Structure 1
């Protein structure tokens, strides 16, 4: 999909767990400075593609994006960061249906 001096720079794997969770794993070797927006886009696409016209929203499955990065990207000192949607004042989780992981291994 992308190349760094003729070397493969990105790999995407889509998997479904035995619990029917949908997981997208992306290995990124080159910092293109767009990982957050890209992860949100991939997550939303995986999530929305689950639903066909006329189907009930209850068929939507937990969707997880895992980004394995060959560079430092986030401000945190942790090498593994996990994000979910939360209420900003109470920190209450809205749902566990979405999850985005960043694993930074520079």
Structure 2
């Protein structure tokens, strides 16, 4: 997939946050697969999306306080969960 432009990054960030809030504690590759499978909550088609692009989006969202990295039983795989701020931003109430 080509390099993401600023508008594409914003779309990806929004879709990643929506995907994580609908199912808690998702691994990076699971988020990518969810978006690639034409997930109904996605704002656009993400065919060709790479795990590294999703990881970058998760890190951006973590810096903004929307996601947090949670402990995983795997040594190198990252697991993410939405913070209360992230859930409020998307409008998901738990």
Give the TM-score normalised by the residue count of structure 1.
0.27
Larger Rg: 1
Higher strand proportion (structure 1 or 2): 1
Task: Compare relative contact order (CA 8 Å, sep 6+) and give the higher one, 1 or 2.
Answer: 2
Normalising by structure 2, what TM-score? 0.30
Greater helix content: 2
